[in-house]
């Protein structure tokens, strides 16, 4: 039955689902491609099922949001606690506002403070339509810990699949995975200076099937504000991407235009960009944006092409959300530098950034210079990528996503040279006559770990090591454009900072399981040696070796890339081969990065 069947619980194991309004459903399993292979239903249907599925807003039975002056009008958690309407407005989460998070468009309830705005999950049947790769829920728990349960998806062809939904608690859940955190909690006794969290959680769908309705789990501590099908991105290929590594002080910039330089792995006849306000507490306004092929520096080869957002020249991105530009006809070359320019009309003192760009980009003098054909206005440079996280190109075969740390991110790679090892892998993919010309998306973050957050996930911080690979997996891999294969090359930072092999292995296994449940192929790379670096002690190396022995067994992955064997010194296997060492004994230099890219069996990238 493949990876999916071994990871999804049978529907009949949940009594709440067994009593659902659809009757007794038996799910024999999901095929590897995600299509239900068989199901059967009882002829006995409770009378309450005759009304059929209803829109979510007609099921609202709980009030989560209160006016700050009338907190007693809401009781989200059964103890009088509620969300502040003022805080939500300050974050850009206004009634009826559509928020795009992890590629899914979710509407914040169009309700006034004090009106029912969410449903407590109790097996309700919800009318939902669409085709896509995942079902996205805007949720929070109120039981003091995770709220979870098993629900079901009914498709238009009558087939059914089950899913497991877990909602972290609104007061104690991890900030690293929240969609938005609000600074206060309202209570009848007064406002508390305590963060309230809301989460977007996605679960797999059977690929290619049209969703007709969704049965919620049974856990009344699990609150659902919105749900939607995340549409497939199969008409697009990822041309370039970068992960948000933290929320850092910038500028400050007032009425400035950023002109960011990015290098494409794949090309196509259309283009769109993605801007992410990840980890933010306030909206950011984009006055206008353009794209152009770069000639040199901040100078475009031709007049920049204007971009739009749902038909408008600019957009305001709520805290924690993203904006995707409208598709525009534009010939994007592969293996080329693009200039993505966007005007920031307000004042920006902090922003989501990818810190280690290994690429110089540009900031203008005051004014909207996104459409400038000259470079004169761009008088200063930056070496990070604020806000911009993706450039997609029309058509193509899809994307390979590399999830990694500083070795993948480009530490010790020359600035402006595009010689990170994923860049060199993309060169090989484009030249190949054996496999399709996939886009190669670099989702490396310097200092990142598998199981521990470096950046806590909220607030302005100087730490740009990102949230853990486990906490960023949905955003940086599963929600990436037309992802076909994921390559995971992480673990050295975990063992250098005291994690055990068992902890790293458990994290890598979870990554593989979650990706396989979405139909994504997963390759694991062994962890490179680092003897001689101050934290790479003999004890850390023993943990690294144990992780690599488990990876080489290959049972949890679709293929193994033995990067340890490529980079190590045969005479001293705990250290890098001197010819591959950048000098710090941790990061490969140019020759080592090239050796990594050359060692990849391209056939393993093919699903």
What are the extents of the domains in the chain?
2-33+35-49, 55-231, 247-393, 397-607
Instruction: Report the C-alpha dihedral over residues 64, 67, 70, 73, rounded to 10 degrees.
Output: -30
Residues 6+ away with beta carbon under 8 Å from 376:
none
* Predicted local distance difference test score (pLDDT) of residue 40: 32
What is the token pair recorded at 563? Answer: 């990067």
* Predicted local distance difference test score (pLDDT) of residue 51: 62
Whole-angstrom Cα distance, residue 538 to residue 302? 55
- Decide: 571 and 538 in contact? Cβ < 8 Å: no
Whole-angstrom Cα distance, residue 553 to residue 555? 6
Whole-angstrom Cα distance, residue 147 to residue 164? 11
Tens-digit pLDDT profile for residues 439-491? 999 999 999 999 999 999 999 999 999 999 999 999 999 999 999 999 999 99
Q: Which residues in the chain come in under a pLDDT of 70?
A: 1-51
Nearest to 366 by CA among 204, 251, 283, 480: 251
Residue 542's SS3 state is: helix
**Angle ∠(275,280,283) on CA atoms, nearest 5:** 70
* Predicted local distance difference test score (pLDDT) of residue 25: 33
pTM of the entire predicted model: 0.91
- Decide: 236 and 396 in contact? Cβ < 8 Å: yes
| 3-state SS string for 463-481 | CCCCCCHHHHHHHHHHCCC
| 3-state SS string for 142-188 | CCCCCEEEEEEEEECCCCEEEEEEEECECCCCCHHHCCEEECCEECC
* Predicted local distance difference test score (pLDDT) of residue 478: 97
Whole-angstrom Cα distance, residue 541 to residue 559? 23
Residue 494's SS3 state is: helix
Could you tell me the CA-to-CA distances from 533 to 313, 489, 496, 538 in Å, in that order? 50, 19, 9, 11
Nearest to 441 by CA among 354, 508, 376: 354
Residues 6+ away with beta carbon under 8 Å from 540:
495, 496, 498
Residues 6+ away with beta carbon under 8 Å from 459:
247, 281
* Predicted local distance difference test score (pLDDT) of residue 37: 33
* Predicted local distance difference test score (pLDDT) of residue 2: 37
* Predicted local distance difference test score (pLDDT) of residue 554: 83
* Predicted local distance difference test score (pLDDT) of residue 49: 40
Write out the H or E segment, with its range, that includes residue 412: none
Whole-angstrom Cα distance, residue 479 to residue 473? 8
CATH number of 397-607: 3.40.50.1110
Write out the H or E segment, with its range, that includes residue 16: helix 15-18
* Predicted local distance difference test score (pLDDT) of residue 21: 32
Give the single-character DSSP code of 209. Answer: P
Whole-angstrom Cα distance, residue 124 to residue 215? 6
Indicate left, alpha or beta for 324 from its phi (over 0: left) and psi (-120 to 50: alpha). Answer: beta
């Amino acid at each position: 039955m493949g990876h999916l069947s071994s990871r999804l619980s049978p529907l009949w194991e949940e009594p709440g689902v067994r009593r659902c309004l659809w009757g007794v459903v038996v799910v024999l399993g999901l095929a590897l491609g995600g299509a239900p292979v068989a199901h059967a239903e009882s002829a006995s249907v409770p009378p309450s099922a005759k009304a059929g599925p209803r829109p979510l807003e007609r099921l609202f039975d709980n009030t989560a949001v209160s006016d700050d002056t009338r907190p007693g009008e809401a009781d989200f958690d059964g103890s009088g606690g509620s969300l502040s309407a003022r805080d939500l407005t300050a974050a850009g989460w206004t009634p009826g506002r559509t928020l795009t998070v992890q590629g899914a468009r979710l509407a914040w309830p169009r309700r006034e403070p004090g009106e029912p705005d969410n449903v407590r999950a109790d097996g309700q049947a919800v009318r939902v339509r669409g085709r896509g790769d995942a079902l996205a829920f805007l949720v929070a728990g109120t039981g003091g810990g995770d709220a979870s349960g098993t629900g079901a998806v009914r498709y238009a062809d009558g087939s059914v699949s089950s899913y497991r939904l877990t909602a972290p608690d609104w007061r104690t859940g991890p900030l690293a995975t929240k969609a938005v955190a609000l600074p206060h909690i309202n209570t009848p006794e007064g406002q508390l200076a305590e963060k309230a969290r809301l989460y977007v959680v996605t679960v797999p769908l059977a690929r290619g099937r049209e969703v007709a309705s969704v049965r919620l789990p049974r856990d009344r501590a699990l609150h659902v504000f919105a749900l939607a099908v995340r549409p497939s991105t199969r008409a697009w290929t990822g041309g370039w991407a970068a992960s948000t590594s933290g929320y850092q002080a910038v500028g400050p910039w007032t009425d400035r235009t950023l002109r960011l330089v990015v290098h494409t792995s794949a090309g196509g006849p259309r283009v769109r960009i993605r801007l992410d306000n990840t980890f933010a507490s306030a909206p950011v306004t984009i006055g206008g944006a353009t794209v152009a092929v770069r000639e040199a520096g901040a100078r475009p080869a031709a007049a920049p092409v204007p971009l739009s957002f749902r038909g408008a020249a600019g957009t305001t991105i709520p805290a924690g959300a993203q904006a995707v530009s409208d598709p525009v006809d534009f010939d994007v070359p592969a293996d080329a530098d693009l200039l993505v320019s966007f005007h920031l009309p307000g004042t920006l003192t902090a922003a989501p950034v990818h810190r280690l760009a290994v690429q110089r980009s540009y900031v203008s003098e005051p004014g909207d210079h996104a459409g400038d054909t000259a470079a004169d206005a761009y008088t200063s440079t930056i070496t990070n990528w604020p806000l911009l996280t993706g450039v997609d190109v029309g058509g193509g075969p899809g994307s390979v996503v590399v999830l990694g740390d500083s070795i993948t991110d480009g530490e010790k790679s020359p600035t402006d040279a595009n010689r990170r090892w994923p860049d060199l892998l993309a060169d090989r993919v484009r030249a190949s006559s054996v496999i399709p010309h996939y886009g190669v998306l670099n989702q490396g973050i310097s200092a990142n770990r598998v199981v521990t957050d470096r950046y806590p996930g909220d607030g302005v911080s100087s730490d740009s090591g990102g949230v853990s690979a486990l906490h960023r997996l949905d955003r940086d891999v599963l929600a990436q454009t037309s992802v076909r294969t994921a390559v995971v090359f992480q673990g050295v930072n975990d063992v250098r900072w005291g994690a055990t092999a068992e902890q790293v292995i458990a994290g890598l296994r979870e990554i593989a399981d979650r990706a396989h449940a979405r139909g994504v192929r997963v390759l694991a790379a062994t962890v490179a040696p680092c003897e001689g670096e101050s934290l790479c002690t003999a004890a850390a190396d023993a943990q690294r070796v144990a992780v690599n022995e488990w990876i080489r067994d290959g049972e949890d992955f679709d293929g193994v890339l033995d990067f340890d064997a490529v980079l190590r010194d045969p005479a001293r296997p705990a250290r890098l081969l001197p010819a591959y060492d950048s000098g710090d004994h941790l990061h490969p230099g140019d020759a080592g990065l090239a050796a990594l890219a050359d060692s990849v069996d391209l056939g393993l990238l093919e699903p």
